[in-house]
């Protein structure tokens, strides 16, 4: 089967790029021939004999909106000339002005705009105005792309509900959850000392610190580190927080942490390159994100055998049950977050049991499992070239999105 996949990058360091990189690897293992249309490609695939890399550089236009449009136009031109060479064309959201067989949806701008947690306001500042215009335009572009895709693949049921707001019939959607590297992220010996974290094995302390972990871009409010810090203020002194986040530039939480007297309990680690080792070194993962489609870091925490505390606003919450984590109804619920962490501290046996259940949950979400679901969909579409995505108004109560 000859498959063309369109996305901005196929690299490990980008969430959507990592998903597509792993999908490409599974497809190659299955003997497929791939045409990868992107700006950046992982070196491991550049010289693969069954990979054709169509490089579409982002160019030098100012701002993401113009850069992405430039890529979308040039990608559409290439596909117009070469579409007949491919059995399947797979795009990601709005990534080209073209029709597609499969459209994977990793983020829904309209969903974020209507989530109740959208942080920007038109005319409040120049930055806010730009971000609002960017979101509104991308919401329209995504709707355009959804209506020109034979099958839409939301990465979570939460995302499927948001796609349906574009008047897309749920019967055309098939949820395929993102995957995780279950071999790379797995329980193992703690390495706290290598990260400068308290409670390293062999170090004499009155009480071993209970170490929480948060990971995400702390410069954007939707990741919601502020609620985690507010909860930490109410917890005992032996509860610490490790924050894995890029700290290039000013740390927006440094003053807040200092004012709360938490400097010795909040450990800003910067960009962590050894994430599996860090996850093996902490006691729980805390991630009350205000908006998330299907976060890879949440799946990595599960795979590492960590109890996960998150919120329903995070798409990955739908794979977590009471045995493996705690799901808050409101990501801003400081009392609820404090209580959830408190239950783990008070009952170490239960916490360890939740970690074991988390690992069991993740074993069903490996990259190969994800990739094989996509391959099954490709084969079905290639065998039924007449199939078209139905669209139109659908009552929300009738939404019954399928999974494969």
Q: Is residue 185 included in any domain, yes or no?
A: no
The reported pLDDT for the residue numbered 384 is 85
Helix or strand or coil: residue 22? helix
Please tell me the predicted confidence (pLDDT) of residue 96. Answer: 96
Q: What pLDDT, on the 0 to 100 scale, is given for residue 247?
A: 82
CA distance 26 to 176: 15
Residues 66 and 124 in one domain: yes
Computed on alpha carbons and rounded to an integer, the radius of gyration of the chain in Å comes to 22
Give the per-residue SS3 of 382-403. Answer: HHCCCCCCCECCCCHHHCCCEE
Q: Tell me if 11 is assigned to some domain.
A: yes
Contacts of 44 (CB under 8 A, 6+ apart): none
Contacts with 315 (C-beta within 8 Å, 6 or more apart), sequence order: 155, 156, 157, 158, 159, 292, 293, 294, 295
Do 378 and 344 lie in one domain? The reply is no
DSSP conformation letters of 205-235: -SSPPEEEEEES-TTSGGG-HHHHHHHHHTS
- Specify if 243 maps to a domain: yes
Q: How many domains does the chain have?
A: 2
* 220 and 110 within one domain: no
The answer as to whether 47 is a domain residue is yes
How many CB atoms within 10 Å of residue 222? 18
Phi/psi of residue 160, nearest 5 degrees: -60, -40
Do 345 and 378 belong together in one domain?
no
Q: Are residues 163 and 312 in the same domain?
A: no
Average pLDDT, consecutive stretches of 10 residues, N- to C-terminus, the chain (404 residues): 97 94 98 97 97 93 88 97 97 97 97 93 93 95 97 96 94 95 96 91 65 93 95 97 88 92 96 96 97 94 97 93 95 97 95 96 96 97 73 36 45
Give the pLDDT score at 208.
Answer: 83
Report phi then psi at 90, rounded to 5: -120, 115
Does residue 39 sit in the same domain as residue 92?
yes
Q: Which domain holds residue 320?
A: 192-362
CB 265 within 8 A of CB 223: no
Q: Is-contact 7 93, C-beta < 8 A? A: no
| CATH code for position 304 | 3.40.50.2000
Task: Let me know whether 344 and 224 are in one domain.
Answer: yes
Number of H helices, E strands in the chain: 13, 16
Q: Are 3 and 27 in contact (CB under 8 A)?
A: yes
Q: Is residue 246 part of a domain?
A: yes
Same-domain pairing of 170 and 237: no
Q: Is residue 252 part of a domain?
A: yes
Q: What is the pTM of this model?
A: 0.90
Q: Is residue 49 situated within a structural domain?
A: yes
How is residue 333 written in tokens? Answer: 């619920």
Residues near 165 by beta carbon (within 8 Å), at least 6 away in sequence: 108, 110, 111, 114
DSSP 170-195: GGGBEE----B-TTTS------GGGG
- The Cα–Cα gap between 158 and 150 comes to 20
What is the CA angle 120-40-301, rounded to 5? Answer: 65
């Amino acid at each position: 089967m000859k498959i063309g996949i369109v996305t901005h990058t196929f690299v490990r360091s980008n969430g959507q790029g990592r998903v597509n990189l792993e999908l490409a690897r599974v497809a190659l293992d299955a003997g497929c021939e791939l045409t990868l249309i992107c700006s950046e490609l992982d070196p491991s695939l550049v010289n693969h004999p069954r990979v054709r890399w169509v490089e579409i550089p982002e160019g030098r236009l100012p701002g993401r909106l113009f850069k992405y449009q430039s890529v979308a136009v040039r990608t559409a031109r290439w596909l117009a000339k070469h579409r007949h060479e491919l059995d399947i064309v797979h795009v990601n959201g709005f990534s080209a002005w073209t029709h597609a067989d499969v459209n994977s949806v990793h983020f829904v701008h309209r969903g974020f705009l209507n989530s109740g947690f959208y942080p920007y306001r038109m005319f409040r500042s120049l930055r806010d105005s730009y971000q609002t215009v960017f979101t509104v335009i991308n919401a329209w572009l995504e709707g355009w792309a959804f209506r020109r895709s034979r099958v839409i693949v939301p990465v979570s049921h939460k995302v499927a509900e948001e796609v349906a707001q574009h008047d897309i019939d749920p019967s055309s959607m098939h949820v395929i959850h993102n995957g995780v590297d279950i071999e790379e992220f797995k329980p193992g010996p703690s390495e706290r000392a290598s990260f400068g974290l308290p409670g390293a094995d062999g170090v004499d302390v009155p009480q071993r610190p209970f170490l929480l972990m948060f990971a995400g871009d702390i410069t954007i409010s939707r990741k919601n580190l502020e609620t985690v810090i507010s909860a930490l203020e109410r917890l005992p002194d032996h509860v610490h927080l490790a924050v894995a986040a890029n700290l290039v530039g000013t740390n927006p939480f440094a003053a807040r942490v200092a004012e709360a007297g938490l400097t010795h309990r909040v450990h800003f680690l910067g960009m962590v390159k050894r994430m599996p080792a860090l996850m093996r070194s902490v006691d729980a993962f805390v991630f009350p994100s205000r908006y998330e489609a299907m976060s890879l870091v949440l799946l990595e925490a599960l795979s590492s055998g960590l109890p996960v505390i998150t919120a329903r606003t995070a798409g990955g919450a739908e794979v977590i049950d009471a045995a493996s984590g705690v799901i808050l109804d409101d990501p801003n619920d400081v009392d609820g977050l404090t209580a959830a962490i408190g239950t783990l501290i008070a009952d170490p046996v239960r916490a360890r049991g939740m970690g074991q259940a988390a690992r069991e949950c993740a074993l069903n979400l490996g990259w190969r499992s994800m990739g094989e679901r996509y391959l099954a969909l490709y084969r079905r579409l290639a065998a039924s070239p007449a199939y078209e995505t139905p669209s139109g108004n659908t009552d929300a109560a009738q939404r019954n999105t399928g999974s494969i």
